[in-house]
Structure 1
Amino acid sequence: MRLLATLVLALSLSGCGMSIVHKLDVQQGNLVAPETFAKLKTGMTRTEVRTLLGTPLLTDVFHANRWDYYFRSEKRGQLVEQNRFSVFFENERVTRVEGGPTLSAAGTAPKK
């Protein structure tokens, strides 16, 4: 009987030693669909850009005329999608945009 109890206890505790780490799905930044990005035009005001794209993730104190938008998505610790672009202003109007929505890490177009 004592041997059976020891065996049951040993088998029960062996499951506690398994190390399965749960990794969260992480999404950071502004997810901007390619269709929405296509609506961004030179000459738009800051308010129009903020309404269309949302508040920028980064506003640089040293570059007040540049808004940086960034999006990163990870699933189980693996990069799924990453997008970055910058919107430049002069006299409160868009003068140019650098970057834009790109393909996901898997090589397919980003999902909505």
Structure 2
Amino acid sequence: MKKITLVVLSLPFLSACSPSMPEMPKVPEMPEMPEMPSMSEFIPDISLPTLFRSDINQGSVLDRFSINQLKVGMSKAEVQDLIGSPSVADPFHNNQWDYINHSTLYKKDNINYRLTLIFDKNTLKNIDTSKLESLPPLTEKEQELENKRLADEKIIAKRAAKEKAEQAKSKAKSRAVAVKKAAAQAKALKEKQAAQAKVAAKAKAIADKKAEDEVKALAEKRAADKKALKKKQAAEAKVATREADLKEGYEAYEKAAERAKSLKGPNTPWYRFW
């Protein structure tokens, strides 16, 4: 049986190689071969070996759950605590961090991504996630944690907004109270200044009147003193004139007496009876 099968299979090759050979007679049709049983029925536990290729991870290994937690305003230490150290850092200014990954995975799509962070000194200013297409999506558990984190952040943001609004309201109220208090103080100060000005004006008027009275009294005193002085001077002049007249009369009398005495002699009394 095996020889016949071999001859039948070799005929086309022989006819192609030897065109000058005479045409072979037709081979009678062979009976159908019985179906052979499958080898797995005899050896069910044996499977064919498969080739295995190990995963090759090169660079920073990140996950979307950690990346989603990055926030502008974080410090470099906070970023490192969250996603680790960068693959490449700017050696001149240290203001750019790059997280690069090139991974070859077995029976999975290769991963090639790049996360770029820009810093202003020690503060995170920009997060570039435009080259993270090949990064695996969140797992179901990570998605639950992400949803919880977002919900918590929403609650915190709502609470912060409420506190900010309350602080703004309290600040506005305090400002209104301060403005009202300042207005009251300004009014009180103005009234006090007006009262002080009124008192000062009254005191000035009194002082001016007193000064005017003093000036008038002084002028009157001076006039009286001047009048008294003139009167005194006139009286003194009158007294002096009288004294001069008396002196002159006395001197005239003495002269007359001396003359009479000299005319009558030494023993003649100065008086005479008629």
TM-score higher than 0.5 here? yes
State yes or no: 1:54 paired with 2:73: no
Which SS does the other structure have where 1:49 is aligned? Answer: helix
- Runs of at least 5 residues in structure 2 that lack an aligned partner in the other structure: 1-51, 143-274
- For the pair shown, the structure with the greater C-alpha radius of gyration is 2
Task: Give the C-alpha shift of residue 30 in structure 1.
Answer: 1.5
How far apart, CA to CA, are the structure 1 residues paired with 2:131 and 2:97? 15
Q: 2:114 is matched with which residue: 84, 96, 112?
A: 84
Aligned pairs for 1:26-105 (under 5 A) are 26-75=56-105, 80-99=110-129, 102-104=132-134
What percent of counterpart residues are identical? 26
How far apart, CA to CA, are the structure 2 residues paired with 1:100 and 1:30? 16
**TM superposition score normalised by structure 2:** 0.29
After the TM superposition, which parts of structure 1 deviate over 3 Å for at least 4 consecutive aligned residues?
A: 108-112
**Deviation per CA, 1:55-106, whole angstroms, max 9, x where unpaired?**
1011121341101101121036x8611110111111300000112573339x
Specify which structure has the higher proportion of strand: 1
**Deviation per CA, 1:12-33, whole angstroms, max 9, x where unpaired?**
xxxxxxxxxx854210112211
Residue identity in the other structure for 1:57: S
- Runs of at least 5 residues in structure 1 that lack an aligned partner in the other structure: 1-21
CA contact (8 A) 1:72 1:79 kept: no
| Bigger RCO (CA 8 Å, 6+ sep) | 1
Instruction: Give RMSD over aligned pairs.
Output: 2.8
